[in-house]
Amino acid sequence: MGKAVKLLAACFLLFTGNLYAQENNELTIKIEPTPVVVEVGEELQLKATLMDGDEALPDTVLFYSRNGAALEVSRDGLVKANKPGTFSVLAQRSGPRDQRVRTRFNIEVPYPPIAKLEFKQIPESFFSKTNYDLLVDVIDEMKLVRENPELSFKSSNPEVATISHGKLLALKPGKTKITATSEGKSAVLNINVKENPAAEITIANSQTNVRTGDVITLNATAKGNNGNAVAVPITYSFEAQPEDNLGQGAEGQINQDGKFVANVPGTFILSARAGTATADQVIRVRKRNVARDIEVVGHGQVFDVHTSDLWVWEGQDGRDYAITGTWGANGDTYFWDVTDPANLIPVDTVRVDARTVNDVKISADGTIGVLTREGASDRKNGIVILNVSDPRNVEVITEYTDGLTGGVHNSFIYEDHVYAVNNGTRYDIINIEDPANPYTVNRFELDTPGHSIHDVWIEDGIAYSSNWRDGIVAVDIGSKNSELADAGGSPSNPVKLGSYAYPSGWNHAAFPFKSESTGDFYVIGGDEAFPEGLPSRNNPAAAAGWIHFVKFNGWENPQEVARYQVPEAGTHNFWVVGDTLYVAYYNGGLRIVDISGELMGNLYDQGREIAKFEPTHADAVVPNAPFTWGPQPHKGHIFISDWNSGLWSVKLLEPAQQGTN
Amino acid sequence: MKFLHALLFVSVLFLGFLTDSLNAQDYYLYVAAESDDRVHLIHFDGETEQGEISETIEVGTWPQENEGPHGLTISPDGEHWFVSIAHGMPYGSLWKYETETNQFVEKVELGMFPATMDISRSTGLLYVVNFNLHGDMEPSTVSVVEPNTMMRLEDIDTGIMPHGSRISDDGKWQYHASMMTDELIVIDTEKLEVANRIPLSKNGSPKMNAHSGMDHSGMNHENMEHNPVEKPTWADPHPVKPLVYVAGNGSDEIIEVNTDSWKITNRWKTGKAPYNLEVSNDGNMLVVTYKGEGATGVWDLNEEKELAKITNSRKVSHGVTISPDNKFAFISVEGIGGEPGSVDVINLETLKRVDVIETGKQAGGIIFWKMGE
């Protein structure tokens, strides 16, 4: 605000109230034509006139629009409509506040008339006593497919087939015309409902005594009167008799691929149906019984600042060490001797010019460490490379800030390269063969609009990044002859392999998982979300989000098959060893989950949780409130960093009875 | 302009009269603690020359991400304050709050690392530079927001790492510095387009200068070497004279640009790394933060000399805002690492630092709100 204006504003606001708080409300702006309607592809010149009552005043009125390419509006009011919709536009006579006049009005760009309707994905045959989805594209004169059109259906012979909510119910053999109508345009589908040839259903599944969380595939086959298999749709359902039916929730789920999983113990009757042929199979489900007690072994208290990430490794001297970062503090990183997990001993501190050391990583050989910096006083941030050969006397080798000045949030060290998530949009790949002289060899960045990245994790030469709205992205950075990929990627030539995004846009972490029990390959995606907003000392954070199990059968075919979702809590970092998942669940503490076998549904509901531990302390930064940042299993213990209370070590106790495979 | 002078004169008299009669000695301002995701409302008692944090407002959404409140401004009617949040996914945003209650009203997404902003008294629109300090030397934008509805109207292409958005008194011209192209850039606030680019280099370097007549379209900008010298970080117009003052952060100088001739008319050597600056409301003084030496310079614009260099309470001096009565300059000082930031208060009559009000970490954006209760 200009000086004189500021002075005027201060004076008059102080002593006279909002004398100048109102815009001129006597003058108006007349927009012509009114209403403003422009057809797609057409142009229209608007006229804006400053009016004092009925009197037109000579003045300049300018137009402002924030509708991008959909509706272009020049400053002098030339409108070009490129997409249908209702758009808000501002017209203004500028000037001091008391002389300023503005009006906001809508421009309607009608949807083009519908040109035609097209049935799509039409089944080859329709069989009686079977349900089908009817899919119709509604296409306008601009050849655009209308989203969420109003559609109605009619069957010319309801005794043969009826339509309800887009579902066609084929009732008996015969012919009928199905007419789909939208805004006066129609399409007709002639269908011939055939007698359903299924006379018998057989179920191949032999697993009838399972645990909660075990996935059964019914493998049902429809057969004709001659005993041969017939290609007809089979539908699946189940009937549950849970052991505990007092206010019980969902007992299980079955999908239309014939896969079933139970959430609770009990007796289940699984049914497969084709036409009038049905088959049932009775399944006995017992409790999964994988829960184990967890023991708190040690606590490295950090009560004066928030603790961020951790890494645990065996040092070159054979002892075990941990590194933890600090958040929103003074740029400290702590090194701990954790050889005795019951006595987590701080052995060194490195202070760098930063407010947050968000991520800490150690090279596989235990000689090089990398800190990520945010809040450096010179605003150059970047990373700091450490010599951690002697964790009791850690040395700063150098800092590296080229192209990383906005702050580095996360990083990963892999084969003499640092993959540094450059605040916002990409990861930079930095050669540290000579750690004193790092240099950037390439970057990996998506090309989607508004793309954003949060973290990257590398295994077997494949970088798995987490990219919020763009989800999980796998990139070959040197997979060589891996069974998963061989795309010729290298640090200087990263090659994208595949990706998977989900609607919430909360993807915050990604971790590869090759199931030891099934051989299936997943990329596990973790969320981060705070829909309730900021916490405070008196109002601990309420996080949201869950773990997504995305099964990759080839990089082109990702399928999200399961989740692990703890109610009223939210995920952060996680780790997998064997068929066990370790999740830092923020306000839900540490969760350890059995992810053996095929995965389907919400694992939380299936009794797959092995243990949980909520680290709290009365003297913590936020007292008595877990906010668990990250876990790392190491030599039989699980180390976790907690944002409020520091470093912890815990141990799973031996199970009282066998439960899992 | 004459009308403005008259109004200014009357209001000064008016202020003096009422200041005496009502003993209005309370000053209120907002300061952002960039590394603590907080904005403080500061109250300063002009009589005792003591200040304190009156209220702290937590800003941002993510508890475990530093979102970085950077720039601040107040609506002309004094009813709202606005803060730019530097970090997002990946874009930053502009948040609007009520001054009366400090309650959040609305937000709108902006560009990469939005920073300083100002509101035009002519258009009523808010102009915020997208500083984009993520490291790549690429042109950025100035976002234009309609602050009532928080509708983002336009993104105006500008220089590399634009910073220091300030608007002329008549509201028609927005000035900002393009740090990595050594330019003062002027935006027509009505047409929402760049009106002028003034090279600030001593040799008038034409690099990346749209007015040089060069056709840049065939150039490989990615491989261009930019070697900015002045690295300007702030621009502030004089309230009555056709002058704009630019902080030459890289060349340790204040550069005076005449907006009639669009010529550089003065260069004054300063303390190390001048960062922000503000011309006093009477146009007689210029207060400049010297980021590189943790000090603040007070300049007499009529005599063209530095009256005093006042050591700040800690390192990394950042912003400055001057009270409407020109009695006090409030300096935000970032500090380093875990130490608190501060607002250092300088009495512009005695040229002494009279108080230090400690804030959250990395005190940066600072804006005067009001005098009185």
Nearest residue, CB atoms, B66 vs list A355, A450, A533: A355
Domain assignment of residue A161, yes or no: yes
Residue A514: its pLDDT value, please? Answer: 97
Residue A94: its pLDDT value, please? Answer: 87
pLDDT of B1 > 80? The answer is: no
A123, two tokens: 């089944």
* Residue that finishes a domain, picked among A406, A432, A465: A406
**Pair A622, A644: CB distance under 8 Å:** yes
Residue B345: its pLDDT value, please? Answer: 98
Total H helices, total E strands in chain A: 1, 57
DSSP secondary structure, B250-304, as one string: TTTEEEEEETTTTEEEEEEE-SSSEEEEEE-TTSSEEEEEETTTTEEEEEETTTT
Q: Measured between alpha carbons, how far is A49 from A28 in angstroms, rounded to an integer? A: 8
Q: Are residues A187 and A209 in the same domain?
A: no
* Residue that finishes a domain, picked among A374, A406, A438: A406
Mutate to test the interface with A, among B37, B134, B167 (most CBs of A within 10 A): B134
Residue B209: its pLDDT value, please? Answer: 39
Residue B202: its pLDDT value, please? Answer: 83
Q: Are residues A350 and A390 in the same domain?
A: yes
Number of domains in chain A: 4
Residue B269: its pLDDT value, please? Answer: 97
Q: Which residue of A has its CA nearest to B292?
A: A378
Q: Are residues A55 and A94 in the same domain?
A: yes
A385, two tokens: 């490379």
pLDDT of A510 > 50? The answer is: yes
Nearest residue, CB atoms, A3 vs list B14, B133, B281: B281
Domain assignment of residue A258, yes or no: yes
Residue A208: its pLDDT value, please? Answer: 98
The domain containing residue A47 runs over which residues?
Answer: 24-109
SS3 B352: strand
pLDDT of B13 > 60? The answer is: no
3-state helix, strand, coil in chain B (%, to 5): 5, 50, 40
Mutate to test the interface with A, among B23, B25, B89 (most CBs of A within 10 A): B89
B150: contact with A, CB 8 A cutoff: no
Cβ distance of A331 and B338 shorter than 8 Å:
yes
**Tens digit of pLDDT for each residue in A528-558?**
998 876 655 455 567 899 999 999 999 998 9
DSSP secondary structure, A430-468, as one string: EE-SSTTS-EEEEEEE--STT--B-EEEEETTEEEEE-B
- Closest-CA distance, A470 to chain B, in angstroms, reads 11
A225, two tokens: 């009167």
**Tens digit of pLDDT for each residue in A143-195?**
889 988 999 999 999 999 999 988 999 999 999 999 999 999 999 999 999 99
Residue B213: its pLDDT value, please? Answer: 37
Mean pLDDT of A92-116: 90
Tell me the CATH number at A125.
2.60.40.1080
Q: Which residue of A has its CA nearest to B286?
A: A3
Q: Measured between alpha carbons, how far is A411 from A457 in angstroms, rounded to an integer? A: 8
Q: Measured between alpha carbons, how far is A406 from A427 in angstroms, rounded to an integer? A: 12
Nearest residue, CB atoms, A541 vs list B63, B279, B335: B63
Residue A542: its pLDDT value, please? Answer: 76
Mean pLDDT of A15-27: 51
pLDDT of A30 > 90? The answer is: yes
Residue A483: its pLDDT value, please? Answer: 81
pLDDT of B19 > 50? The answer is: no
- Closest-CA distance, B71 to chain A, in angstroms, reads 13
Arithmetic mean of pLDDT over chain A: 93
* Residue that finishes a domain, picked among A51, A86, A109: A109
Q: Average the pLDDT over each of A587-601, B200-214, B266-280, B345-359 and give the range with the smallest value.
A: B200-214
Residue A3: its pLDDT value, please? Answer: 58
Nearest residue, CB atoms, B169 vs list A2, A23, A451: A2
B237: contact with A, CB 8 A cutoff: yes
Domain assignment of residue A124, yes or no: yes
pLDDT of B142 > 70? The answer is: yes
Q: What value of ipTM does the predicted structure carry?
A: 0.86
Q: How many CB pairs under 8 A join A and B?
A: 220
Domain assignment of residue A648, yes or no: no
Q: Measured between alpha carbons, how far is B93 from B155 in angstroms, rounded to an integer? A: 13
pLDDT of A422 > 90? The answer is: no
Q: Are residues A309 and A400 in the same domain?
A: yes
Residue A540: its pLDDT value, please? Answer: 59
pLDDT of A45 > 80? The answer is: yes
SS3 A482: coil
Residue A62: its pLDDT value, please? Answer: 92
Cβ distance of A533 and B324 shorter than 8 Å:
no
- Indicate if the alpha-carbon torsion angle B106, B108, B113, B116 is positive or negative: negative
Mean pLDDT of B330-342: 97
pLDDT of A14 > 50? The answer is: no
Q: How confident is the model at residue A23 (pLDDT cuts 50, 70, 90)?
A: low
Residue A7: its pLDDT value, please? Answer: 52
Domain assignment of residue A558, yes or no: no
Residue A656: its pLDDT value, please? Answer: 63
How many C-beta atoms surround the C-beta of residue A167 within 10 A?
12
Q: Are residues A125 and A104 in the same domain?
A: no
CB within 8 Å of chain A, chain B residues 36-65 = 36-37, 58, 60-64
Q: Which residue of B has its CA nearest to A428?
A: B135
**Pair A660, A597: CB distance under 8 Å:** no
SS3 A604: helix
Which one is predicted more confidently, A19 or B178?
A: B178
Q: How confident is the model at residue B205 (pLDDT cuts 50, 70, 90)?
A: low
**Pair B257, B229: CB distance under 8 Å:** no
Cβ distance of B362 and A629 shorter than 8 Å:
no
Tell me the CATH number at A52.
2.60.40.60
